[in-house]
Structure 1
Amino acid sequence: MSQPMGGVKDLLKVPGLPQLFLWSMLGRLNVSALPVALALMLVRWSNSYVIVGLVGCALTLGQGAAAPLRGRAADRGSTGRLLMITGIGYATGLGVIVALAATVPASGWPVVVAVALVTGLSAVPVSQISRAVWPKIVGAELTPALYTAEATASEVITTTGPLLAAAVIAVAGPFWAVGVTGLLALVSALVFAAALSRVGLGGEPLPQHGKRVARRSLLAEGPFVRVVAIALLVTAAIFAVNLSVVAWTQNMGRPALAGVLTAGWTLGSLAGGFALSTFARGMPRTPRVAGMAVGIAALAVVLPPILDTVPLWLVIVVLFLGGTAIAPTLAATYEQIAEASPQDRRAEAFGWMAMATTGGGALSMVLSGVLLDSFGPALPVAAGAALVVVALVLTAFGRTPRIPSTDTVEEATA
């Protein structure tokens, strides 16, 4: 039986947590704002969506590939220093991309791709670090509530970022929007580092005198790999739904509806996260994942070619109801990652999760595109539901995650 979960009111009473949580969310705003700003800037520069895709892919690959390394650096060194270095590096990289797009012809796109890859390697690990430190701040009893709050608030950030980018583009243009995104990444990284320092988590880890740690790879732990696989499958399903909804509105000749439908999906997630933290404390993880599978499967049923004509309101209702399981499912994934990793390696663990979800999202986009071209939006959404069913099986029948042991060896003394 799960322990009762504390609510939002309990979290607000934790000293320093509200401010730290706020800055951790603002530190991710640049992530959701950048794709819109960067895509519009690059297409205006090159007049080629292929180049937009190549640059975006290089940036994403860099972010995913370096995520475990950034996490390991956070576990073993000063998180404040890491945030400062990556913030400067990431903002500088975006600034170089803007400068290149403003001064060189489109034939120089390979240089921009290379710079994007390096920039991705310097991505600021705000989400990794925050998810790793939450259990240290609130303890085991409130950790599930905090992960639910994070998954819910992340939906707000995902929606707000593109709106911020669109506002800057409308006022000053896409080149300025990318620059503002880089500046936002730098400032939020520095402020988040300062907030961590105020709660005593911004410095070097405590040394282990007389011992050296023999570290096994986290990927050698079966329960940890299983949870990472669950995160990959869930993320791939979300990407499949998002792309399919956009494609459906494009095929209808009403692309503006994509924003309305995505808003319904997001509002459902917000409602689900609020309900979980307020009325359904301690809900087991398996029903959460099952709810997500059912919601996505229901969406597949009301999309072409299964149904050629369907009232728009019905699609919005299905998206909203299906979305209510998103934040609870993501929160369950965060909880399991934390449970399956040692306390002093949680930033690395969430780095592996970030790498898996980045790869899962990229692969899902490719496969969903193929299915969309061949069969229409219902099939990629159904494939997404099938992925969540696999995640459900792994959640329901996998071994309970345990904290891997860390072997220590006494150092020779003089």
Structure 2
Amino acid sequence: MGFRGYAELWADRPVRTLFVAAFFARIPAMAAPLVFTLFVVGPLDGTYAQAGIVAAASTIGAGVGSPWRGRLIDKLGMRRAIIPSIVAVGVLYPIAALSTSYALLVPLSFVMGLFLIPIFSIVRLSLSVMVEERLRRTAFSADSVVAEASFIIGPAVGVVLVTQASAAWALFAIGMTEVVAGLMFLRLNPPTRSAVDPDEPVVESSGPKGPWMSVPLAFLFLISGGTLAALIGTDLGIVAQLREIDHVGSIGFTYGLWGLSSLIGGVIYGSLNKSIRPTYLLLALGLTTIPVGLGSEVWSLSLWVIPTGFLCAPTMTAATEWIAKLTPEDRRGEAMGWQGTSFMIGGAASSPIIGVAIDEVGAWGGFVVGGLIATAIALLAWGGQLLPAFKPDSHSIEETPAG
């Protein structure tokens, strides 16, 4: 292992600025799912299944919009692609906060997802351009660490807003801060394509020729979806478990420990000199998610989330790293958008199922169902990748030093 790559990234001012902006921009996005769940099961007097439907509507909208916005970034640049999102977020969140109807909240959530500001895609796409390939794994891991730092703060802030003010005020605050985040990236305008020097000879993309989609990429998108199933199971399961034992105020602590363990996992993964197959990481993530429901107290639940948290950032980073390697630069924004869609589909498909499991058998059902879905997808992808025709060429990825 070596951590020199992180020092190189931090010494690069544009990259450092991008990480700082991403940290602040993600805090409201990380708080939103939890606040929506508490809004549905609290003021709207709904069930966890209904909260899962709201989450599914939002993720379906984001899944539809993510590739479209990614393609717009490829063609028009970042600024022109996110202006509609900034306007939509500024209008829709206040409407949702004022809503007293669950029936209205579902379509609102879909439209909000459709115009979600694609911070994840923008940051990963920009890093793939701004950072040398030898440091790409470290850069993606560093971004995962930044995301986990935001995750540690976001839900805790959301809980404070809900308990000290109300869920409606929390939604309104999230919407306004997401507008500020969008304006921040509009001002920063990170590069999404490599600069072309007219005096230099044209260097062809190192990515594959012809159609960019391939079976190995499809497996990576499937793995990304499975990752979200495990995360949704843990996310909803934590909220349900702490509500069952009447310790909702401890959500920030448990979420914080979950995020901190993921942050540590991301730091370690980024320091490795070789990549780990996303399939193996997802399998481990699914298997460690299943038993989390054994934690029946705040302290035991918080300890059980550490192993699954430790694998979150590495699993997401590894999938992104391989997608960036297997996709030509001029289609990378679209590919990152499709990965975002895969995350959203995984969340949308699993959220209602996990919600029903929690309603029917209790909080532990959320962990079991989410973990089983992730495990099944990992085994499916692993079996498919054993076929010679579908096996990705991992040599060049695994041998790339982390710096």
Mark yes or no: TM-score above 0.5.
yes
Say which of 287, 301, 304 aligns to 1:297: 287
Q: What do the CA deviations read for 1:208-265 (whole angstroms, capped 9, x no partner)?
A: xxxxxxx97644x222112111111222122223334444455556555555444333
Q: What does residue range 184-199 of structure 1 map to in structure 2 within 5 Å?
A: 184-196=177-189
Report if aligned partners of 1:128, 1:350 keep a CA contact under 8 Å in 2. yes
Query: How has the CA–CA distance of structure 1 residues 330 and 196 changed in structure 2, closer, same or farther, with 3 Å as cutoff?
Result: same
User: Match of 1:182?
Assistant: 175
Provide the secondary structure at the position in 2 that maps to 1:400. coil
| 1:265 maps onto 2:246 in alignment | no
- Stretches of structure 2 that go unaligned for 5 or more consecutive residues are 199-208, 397-403
User: Match of 1:356?
Assistant: 342
Provide the secondary structure at the position in 1 that maps to 2:116. coil
Kindly provide the amino acid, as one letter, of the partner of residue 364 in structure 1.
S
Say which of 371, 375, 384 aligns to 1:386: 375
Query: How has the CA–CA distance of structure 1 residues 387 and 257 changed in structure 2, closer, same or farther, with 3 Å as cutoff?
Result: farther
Report if aligned partners of 2:125, 2:192 keep a CA contact under 8 Å in 1. no
User: Match of 1:283?
Assistant: 274
Q: What does residue range 210-249 of structure 1 map to in structure 2 within 5 Å?
A: 218-219=212-213, 221-249=214-242
Q: C-alpha separation between the residues in 2 aligned to 1:44 and 1:164? A: 17
User: Match of 1:91?
Assistant: 90
User: Match of 1:76?
Assistant: 75
Q: What does residue range 301-316 of structure 1 map to in structure 2 within 5 Å?
A: 303=293, 316=302
Report if aligned partners of 1:4, 1:281 keep a CA contact under 8 Å in 2. yes
Q: C-alpha separation between the residues in 1 aligned to 2:252 and 2:37? A: 17
Q: C-alpha separation between the residues in 2 aligned to 1:4 and 1:164? A: 34
| 1:155 maps onto 2:148 in alignment | yes
Report if aligned partners of 2:286, 2:372 keep a CA contact under 8 Å in 1. no
1:312 Cα offset (Å): 7.0
Kindly provide the amino acid, as one letter, of the partner of residue 382 in structure 2.
V
Q: What does residue range 3-152 of structure 1 map to in structure 2 within 5 Å?
A: 7-41=5-39, 46-49=44-47, 54-99=53-98, 101=99, 106=101, 109-152=102-145
Report if aligned partners of 1:23, 1:192 keep a CA contact under 8 Å in 2. yes
My pick for the range that moved more, 136-145 or 246-255, is 246-255
Q: C-alpha separation between the residues in 2 aligned to 1:336 and 1:299? A: 24
1:37 Cα offset (Å): 3.6
Report if aligned partners of 2:283, 2:379 keep a CA contact under 8 Å in 1. no
Q: C-alpha separation between the residues in 1 aligned to 2:233 and 2:50? A: 22
Query: How has the CA–CA distance of structure 1 residues 263 and 332 changed in structure 2, closer, same or farther, with 3 Å as cutoff?
Result: same
User: Match of 1:411?
Assistant: none
TM-score by length of 2: 0.79
Query: How has the CA–CA distance of structure 1 residues 362 and 15 changed in structure 2, closer, same or farther, with 3 Å as cutoff?
Result: same
Q: C-alpha separation between the residues in 1 aligned to 2:146 and 2:160? A: 21
Report if aligned partners of 2:72, 2:81 keep a CA contact under 8 Å in 1. yes
Q: What do the CA deviations read for 1:57-101 (whole angstroms, capped 9, x no partner)?
A: 4333211111110111111002112222211122112233335x2
- Stretches of structure 1 that go unaligned for 5 or more consecutive residues are 208-214, 404-414
Kindly provide the amino acid, as one letter, of the partner of residue 331 in structure 1.
T
Query: How has the CA–CA distance of structure 1 residues 362 and 282 changed in structure 2, closer, same or farther, with 3 Å as cutoff?
Result: same
Provide the secondary structure at the position in 2 that maps to 1:143. helix
TM-score by length of 1: 0.77
Tell which structure's C-alpha radius of gyration is larger. Answer: 1
Say which of 307, 311, 323 aligns to 1:325: 311
Provide the secondary structure at the position in 1 that maps to 2:7. helix
My pick for the range that moved more, 244-253 or 127-136, is 244-253
1:322 Cα offset (Å): 3.8
Q: What do the CA deviations read for 1:158-189 (whole angstroms, capped 9, x no partner)?
A: 22112222333455433332222112111111
Query: How much is the aligned-residue C-alpha RMSD, in angstroms?
Result: 3.7
1:396 Cα offset (Å): 6.8
1:338 Cα offset (Å): 0.8
Kindly provide the amino acid, as one letter, of the partner of residue 346 in structure 1.
R
Provide the secondary structure at the position in 1 that maps to 2:327. coil
User: Match of 2:204?
Assistant: none
| 1:343 maps onto 2:329 in alignment | yes
User: Match of 1:164?
Assistant: 157
Query: How has the CA–CA distance of structure 1 residues 396 and 314 changed in structure 2, closer, same or farther, with 3 Å as cutoff?
Result: farther
